[in-house]
Amino acid sequence: MFIRSGEQGAALNPQEVLRVQPWGHTAQGEEVTLFTLSSRSGLVVRVMDYGGVIVGVEMAGRTGERADVTLGHGHLAPYLDRDTSPYFGALVGRYANRIRQGRFTLGGADYQLPVNDGHNHLHGGPGGFDQRLWQATSGVNEEGPFVQLSRISPDGEEGYPGTLSAEVTYVLRHDSALTVSYRATTTRPTHVNLSNHTYWNLNGGRSGVLDHLLWVDADRYVPVDAQGLPLGGTADVSGTPLDFRRPQRLGNHDLSGPRQPGGYDHTLALNGSGLRHVATLFGPSSGRRLEVSTTEPGVQVYSGNFLDGSIVGRGAQRYDQHWGLCLETQHFPDSPNQPAFPSTRLDPGDVYTSVTRYAFSVSGRVSGNTDPE
């Protein structure tokens, strides 16, 4: 049974697991709302309806000290400009990652999308889903507090064919897991690849992430050129810095080489199918652990290579290079032009679905064959 929210800004639940409050206005005067979800275990997740942004995730560390484990801001204004919020926590679409020259052919018709990453289309274009205000419904169900966001992307928005009806639901479960579920339908054949672009930092943002340990269940990765576009097919991770089948410290390898210029920004082709555990990130200094499960075939591992200290985030902290790690569960880059890759095509009558779950915990040491040690 769903318990729907009351008026915005009101205290919504006697257990205080859900709070809804006004959070400012867009440049167009639209009111933005911030939703604060709390679990019984003390995990706190903040989501806003502008850009579907995960504004923050607050949890305790090994010593009990609480900190936000994402990069971001304490107020709305910086999120309205990609120069001060390069997809921090954002819902990205219609197509996460890159499409070569913003072009693809579908059903015998050629489509040109706007280019916003050199000569290529990135994360849905300049007016992508992260730049839109979504309609929101909130409440509490048997799993915990939730926020459900929806919007209708009209035919031709950012060059994409078909009117896309999209829905994204964030549920903070009482067992300290955040589940993000995506659903979409279309009126014409189109391409869809939705993801979340949160920058994780298990040190609470006080230092970079190169000390973090990462495990990913992936035997293969997608080789790319200097523009981040696929060279064709996948390759074995063996002998490369992209082999995270055993936990690796992110700073173990030279991050200036041709395979990871400036850091990691690569798609790993995940093993298995269905909703399964695919990655673990561990912060040794804090004891915080993040486990990622997903239904997606890939995860983009991005180590904040383009952060340069010019952005001042939460707590007046400057975000330098490698200050956050993104684990973007998604399909592969440029799939509309890569027939060998898992398809991102969505036809009328079909339903696009995707689920990613983030589970949080704390320990002095993480052990096991598939966890950082």
- Which tokens belong to 21? 């409050």
Burial of 226-242, coded b for 16+ CB within 10 Å and e otherwise, reads: eebbbeeebeebeeebb
Q: What is the C-alpha to C-alpha distance for residues 18 and 46, in angstroms, rounded to an integer?
A: 10
- Residue 328 falls in the annotated catalytic set: yes
Two tokens, residue 18: 């859900």
Q: Which of 115, 11, 54, 15 is nearest to 324 (CA)?
A: 54
In the structure encoding, which two tokens stand for residue 224, read together?
A: 């790319």
Cα–Cα distances (Å) from 200 to 108, 187, 326, 364, in that order, read 41, 36, 6, 19
Active-site annotation holder among 197, 266, 322, 331:
197
Of 123, 157, 328, 331, catalytic: 328
Query: Cα separation of 218 and 237, whole Å?
Result: 8
140 close to 197: Cβ distance less than 8 angstroms = no
Contact 24, 55 (CB under 8 A): no
| Residues labelled as active-site residues | 197, 328
